[in-house]
Structure 1
Amino acid sequence: MGVPLRTAVAALCAGLVATFLTTEPARADPREHTWTVSGPGAHQPAARIRLDDTTGAVSLSVTRGGRTVIEPSPVGIVTEQADLSKDLRFLDRKDRRIDERYRTRSGKRLDRRVRMNETRLSFATSTGARLDLVVRASADGVAYRYVLPGGHGDVLGETSAFHLPADAPAWLGTYRVDNEGQFVRYTAAGAPTGEYSDQALFETNGGYTLLAESDLSGAYSGARLAHTQGTGTYRIELADDRIDTDGPLATPWRAMITGDLATVTRSTLTDDLAPESKVPDTSWIRPGTVLWTWLAGGREAGQSLAAQKAYVDYAAERNWPYEAVDAGWYYKPGAWETVDPDWQTNSWMPELVRYARAKGVGIVVWIHQRELDTPEERDRWLPTLERWGVEGVKIDFMNSEAQPMLRWYDTVLAETAAHHLMVDFHGSTIPKGIQRTWPHVMTLEGVAGEEKRTNTAAHLTTLPFTRNVIGSMDFTPGAFHRVGLRPNSDAAEVGLTVAYESGLQMFAGTPQSYDQRPLARAYFDQVPAAWDDTRLLAGRPGEEAVLARRGGDRWFIGGVYAGAARTAEVPLDIGAGRWLVETIEDGADGLVRRRQVLRGGDTFAVDVVAGGGFASLACRWRPGITTCHR
């Protein structure tokens, strides 16, 4: 005879509780209706949770150094069986400390240390419906999630929201299904009524707070922010009106990365909150720079073996590890977006892969999501690409964060990992912790990148503090040939390869444009695509962003600016001692390079043109050292 359902559910819930806890639960004080969860150490961010005696509603606020950065904001979730946003009574509290180390294959910092304090508060309604609110606090922010036992029915929505001071400066991107809205500065209350990306940045009480999400999977639904002009409130709105659930549920984390701008930029909180890697052997996952041929050659290049071989030759000459073949390669010759039914036997891709491999270049291929939509399609495509020796896939046009598409992500992530295919998602969700759990995800678009013809310099200087904080970003810099279609200078375009982090850093220009700019080309030969450390040297969203990233014993520095020409002052905060610094900037007749020996902590000046920038390479100086290039 089977185990009774009630017994099975009780056992499952008990197992979940045991998994979450490492210490004995604290005794609940029936008079206690306010709780505080602080990050480890002094002056850390802290969450204050309060249960209202009258309404039974729970709210959460965030402070940092005693200053309020998120005002008391509602938390709660509504299911088919219960409204868990009101009429709640407190049951108990349990605490634990999290101390973890992990290593990534790409990102702003490969070695990670996670130290958080966690509190789990249990509530129930008068009818016995259960809600656990799990809150974590670390040095760089606060996050919370809801945990529900089984039997609660489908989720109908959240009452979660964030209350910001009305006059707080805000950098917001209008929500789009492809997450390609441009970031624009408003005030928290002054932003127009509408939906915004959940990666929203606010300047609050002497610091910054970036809203984010982590551990999003097909168990739930993607979030965006809904706002009504005239208020400082940003409500969580889900992509689905109803979320299908079966059994216990842990929702994604609602994260608030907070601190000074350097802390926000350096944060790995969304990765730290995510589940550990599901890929046991990651040795085949290799970040690198990529010669991307779409903006360079368009449709014609995608349907030409000869053109692709020429691109491979160029990548091999430059020692660039990858070449990416974009749309067209599996279409019927002379036809556009018509799949050749015999692509497996007719394709020239195996010949290209063999040709490239002999020259030390790996091949990444574009593929439309509709070709991988069903199990039968994936069984046809993925093993074939692996057998040919393709190293990565650029999957395009998901354009949804609804639960069915997120379940597709779960499936395709496991299957691409099984076939040793690195992944670049376009027309996609944004990282949200995905790169810790699935480290073969090298980069995601989810950004108004180089392909866009309406970008502004202000947008470019906001991305390092918003979209790129939460994970790799496939902006595709280096499109020197698109003069007049981009808002920045050539030196700024070089600087983007450092200012923007991407595990596959796709260079978007033509070989001819690189050859016409040998200083840029030589810099691209040196720049890594994974980093040992990242530091913000100077910045203000919408105005300037200067980031230093370390690869081995060298620091690469990228600066991008909006506004009029100026002389920028850059602090060389990369360590004590003497450094040889080679800087590429805009000159009267093109790019110029300047070498100087500086001490760590010195400030050096860069002449920046309107919408300009620079790129530097710094190495330890000693007598006889004349260049940092290798």
Structure 2
Amino acid sequence: MKINKSAVLGLCILAICNSFAFAQKVSVQSPNKKINVGLFNQQNGDAGAWYLKVTYTEGDKTTEAISRIDLGLVRADQEFAKELAFVKAGKATPINEQYKAPHGKRSVRSNNANEVAVSFQNPDKTKMNVIIRAYNDGMAFRYEFPDKREAIAMKDELTSYSIPKETSRWMEKWNTANEGFYTAMVDDKVQQQEWCYPALFNTKDKACWFLMHEADLDRNYCGTKLSNVADATKYKLTFPNPRDGRGTGVVEPTISFPFKSPWRVVIMGNLQDVVASTLVDDISTPTLLKNTDWIKPGVASWNYWSSNHGTKDYKIVTKFADLAAEMSWPYTLLDWEWDSMANGGKLEDALTYIKAKGVKPLMWYNSGGNHTSVTSTPKDRMLTHESRVKEFTKLNELGVVGVKIDFFESEKQNMIQYYLDILDDAAQYKIMVYFHGCLVPRGWSRTYPHLVTYEAVRGAEWYNNVPDFTMAAPEHNTILPFTRNVIGSMDYTPVTFTNSQYPHVTSYGHELALSVLFESAIQHLADRPEGYAALPDAPKNFLRTVPNAWDDTKLVDGFPGKDVTMARRKGNDWYLAGINGEQLEKRKTIKLDFLPEGVKYKLTLIADGAYDSLFSTQYLVVDKSSSIDVRMLRRGGFVASIIREQ
């Protein structure tokens, strides 16, 4: 019998194609067709274990970004993982929503994606849906139990991302305050432990970057983290540790029905796409606030960095009020221990002085309760609804417009509920809120736009704490724009020219650049008044006028750990900033092709001078076709204001 090799080959190809088509049960593609999310069955059938695969296409090249995202939940009564039967998949539905944000990296935003809802049932015939979305700048999915029933504990989430060792990554070791350094790892250097969000990855072929996170966390769940303890190549979503929050609160969340989990979010594309993304906010629940006019982003003076107990001293408090007034900053913060103020006046005296200067006061609070061992006062005034109502009523009377609440130390469900209770009550009294010693952003600034910033970063405060921040800060600063600050406001407390307890080795140009590179809706500029008073006119005037809420954001150039240059727009004007995280001087030619066509601008470039504490200033007229040459010292930096000509 003669075998037709061509026919056999054709049948083999057909069999492979049919197998692939059968295995990939569902596929959803981003509107720009660059990102594809496929749903696969591990047993190549209609029941069993299920996983997602994510690919990224740029031009004619397709990269397998994430080869496998395992799916599954374990409730106290039932499991939804190994024996899930496929029921149906809905038609791809476009999500097309426009909204405005009062602060952040972009004022006008869009929530545009293609969505597919997939229905499963377990052997007990209980339904579970997986909602999958593909965005132009990433993908997301969440679990849903559509039926109503009594509340029950979630024992585990089995979501797990398979990432080969050849993928480069920048990750922060888990800590409850989210205030660690990022570690760069690849191949045999990949460590096994628990990790904070967000985590940054770059595929082996360098074609695709992605940032892993979660969004739209609500009272019905706990915060999760990533763990590759069991397998170096698998990052499993993991519930909080029992010891977090000094052991208060339960690890396993109790969920009510119908139930939707937080979104599991992967921001994806090139580095420009990642830095510009607002996906974590876009996918989160819209605000119910009808009036947000009272939410005013701005710059604040802050005395803690230069004097840890400065708010106990009335004269120091008034000096920082004078600084805010002199620099045209709208706010000054009274940090911890304001209830012990002395040396010329008490709290009410200080508030009267501050307001007489045309400055608005902000005040610190200890989150209180047994979840923190920090005894600094005032403590416990935020702990219950009744105590918050009493305190917010008083703050309204005193003219205080915002509160900084510190030391949460847990992401268990009880603490998530506490965060959101604070935000609900603060909204009723038109009090802006920012959290310290806290979780990283989860999209809450869309739902609660009066949440103006979070710490959750190893920031300049650490010059107070340990000597090792001094030499680590330059590189660390170049990683944050690609990681932590992508997902929401970041209260790093930047722009310090003098020294705290431990010195900085960043140049003055580097420090000035952080006012643009780091986005925070309340930007605490942390130096003492003498540090700003000693500045030349150009950098001083720059700090008087630099915005901190933006209409657009673009990454111009950079690589995490090496250097970064970013452009941000406010109205018709642009602000450009760059820093060098390395020990060698660098020269860059920066194209201004992000400017609109046919418009002239006045550019003021403030760059490193001959040595770290000197500036060099140039004035130019530029347009879209222009470029500028910039020299950055080792650990140096620069800024430029690009003001449209009238």
TM-score of the alignment, normalized to the shorter chain, above 0.5:
yes
Task: Report the equivalent of 1:580.
Answer: 602
Task: Report the equivalent of 1:8.
Answer: none
Match of 2:566 among 532, 547, 550: 547
Q: Relative to 1, partners in 2 of residues 1:410 and 1:521: Cα closer, same or farther, differing over 3 Å?
A: same
Match of 1:568 among 582, 588, 606: 588
Q: Relative to 1, partners in 2 of residues 1:161 and 1:394: Cα closer, same or farther, differing over 3 Å?
A: same
Q: Is 1:171–1:200's contact at 8 Å kept on the other side of the alignment?
A: yes
Task: Report the equivalent of 1:517.
Answer: 535
Deviation at 1:287, TM superposition (A): 0.3
Match of 2:365 among 357, 364, 367: 367
Deviation at 1:70, TM superposition (A): 0.8
Q: Output the CA distance in 2 between the equivalents of 1:541 and 1:437.
A: 30
Alignment of 1:496-511 (within 5 A): 496-511=514-529
Q: Output the CA distance in 2 between the equivalents of 1:347 and 1:390.
A: 17
**% identical equivalent positions:** 31
Task: Report the equivalent of 1:392.
Answer: 402
Q: Output the CA distance in 2 between the equivalents of 1:125 and 1:80.
A: 14
Alignment of 1:548-627 (within 5 A): 548-563=567-582, 564-575=584-595, 576-577=597-598, 578-588=600-610, 590-621=614-645
Task: Report the equivalent of 1:64.
Answer: 56
Measured against aligned partners, the alpha-carbon deviations of 1:163-196 in whole angstroms (never above 9, x if no partner) come to 1232111011111100111112111663211111
**Does residue 1:160 correspond to 2:159, yes or no?**
yes
Q: Is 1:503–1:530's contact at 8 Å kept on the other side of the alignment?
A: yes
Q: Is 1:597–1:621's contact at 8 Å kept on the other side of the alignment?
A: no
SS at match of 2:491: coil
Deviation at 1:568, TM superposition (A): 2.3
Q: Output the CA distance in 2 between the equivalents of 1:347 and 1:470.
A: 41
Question: What code does the residue aligned with 1:50 have?
Answer: F
Match of 1:473 among 474, 490, 507: 490
Deviation at 1:533, TM superposition (A): 0.6
Q: Relative to 1, partners in 2 of residues 1:615 and 1:198: Cα closer, same or farther, differing over 3 Å?
A: same
Q: Is 2:119–2:130's contact at 8 Å kept on the other side of the alignment?
A: yes
User: TM-score with structure 2 length normalisation?
Assistant: 0.86
**Does residue 1:181 correspond to 2:199, yes or no?**
no
Q: Output the CA distance in 2 between the equivalents of 1:189 and 1:362.
A: 52
Q: Relative to 1, partners in 2 of residues 1:102 and 1:347: Cα closer, same or farther, differing over 3 Å?
A: farther
Q: Relative to 1, partners in 2 of residues 1:124 and 1:169: Cα closer, same or farther, differing over 3 Å?
A: same
Q: Is 2:565–2:577's contact at 8 Å kept on the other side of the alignment?
A: yes
Q: Is 1:584–1:615's contact at 8 Å kept on the other side of the alignment?
A: yes
Task: Report the equivalent of 2:30.
Answer: 39
SS at match of 2:410: coil
Q: Output the CA distance in 1 between the equivalents of 2:563 and 2:478.
A: 5
Q: Is 1:491–1:584's contact at 8 Å kept on the other side of the alignment?
A: yes
Greater shift after overlay, 279-288 or 346-355?
A: 346-355
Task: Report the equivalent of 1:307.
Answer: 316
Question: What code does the residue aligned with 2:410 have?
Answer: S
Q: Is 1:189–1:232's contact at 8 Å kept on the other side of the alignment?
A: no
Task: Report the equivalent of 2:335.
Answer: 326
Greater shift after overlay, 493-502 or 377-386?
A: 377-386
SS at match of 1:295: coil
Q: Relative to 1, partners in 2 of residues 1:32 and 1:73: Cα closer, same or farther, differing over 3 Å?
A: closer
Q: Relative to 1, partners in 2 of residues 1:62 and 1:391: Cα closer, same or farther, differing over 3 Å?
A: same
Q: Output the CA distance in 1 between the equivalents of 2:629 and 2:484.
A: 28
Match of 2:423 among 413, 416, 429: 413
Gaps of 5+ in 2: 1-20, 241-249, 369-379
Deviation at 1:461, TM superposition (A): 0.2
Task: Report the equivalent of 2:480.
Answer: 463
Deviation at 1:591, TM superposition (A): 1.6
Question: What code does the residue aligned with 2:637 have?
Answer: G
Measured against aligned partners, the alpha-carbon deviations of 1:63-89 in whole angstroms (never above 9, x if no partner) come to 111321111221111111211111011
Q: Output the CA distance in 1 between the equivalents of 2:626 and 2:539.
A: 25
SS at match of 1:126: coil
Q: Relative to 1, partners in 2 of residues 1:331 and 1:353: Cα closer, same or farther, differing over 3 Å?
A: closer
Q: Is 2:73–2:79's contact at 8 Å kept on the other side of the alignment?
A: yes
Deviation at 1:158, TM superposition (A): 0.9
SS at match of 2:80: coil
Gaps of 5+ in 1: 1-29, 335-345, 623-630
Task: Report the equivalent of 1:355.
Answer: 353
Equivalences, count: 580
Q: Output the CA distance in 2 between the equivalents of 1:611 and 1:31.
A: 54
Q: Is 2:30–2:135's contact at 8 Å kept on the other side of the alignment?
A: yes
Deviation at 1:621, TM superposition (A): 4.8
Deviation at 1:304, TM superposition (A): 2.3
Greater shift after overlay, 435-444 or 49-58?
A: 49-58
Q: Is 1:277–1:439's contact at 8 Å kept on the other side of the alignment?
A: yes
Match of 2:414 among 379, 404, 409: 404
Deviation at 1:99, TM superposition (A): 0.8
Task: Report the equivalent of 1:290.
Answer: 300
Question: What code does the residue aligned with 2:454 have?
Answer: L
Q: Relative to 1, partners in 2 of residues 1:391 and 1:469: Cα closer, same or farther, differing over 3 Å?
A: same
SS at match of 2:152: coil
Alignment of 1:421-500 (within 5 A): 421-453=431-463, 454-455=468-469, 456=472, 457-482=474-499, 485-500=503-518
SS at match of 1:122: strand
User: TM-score with structure 1 length normalisation?
Assistant: 0.88
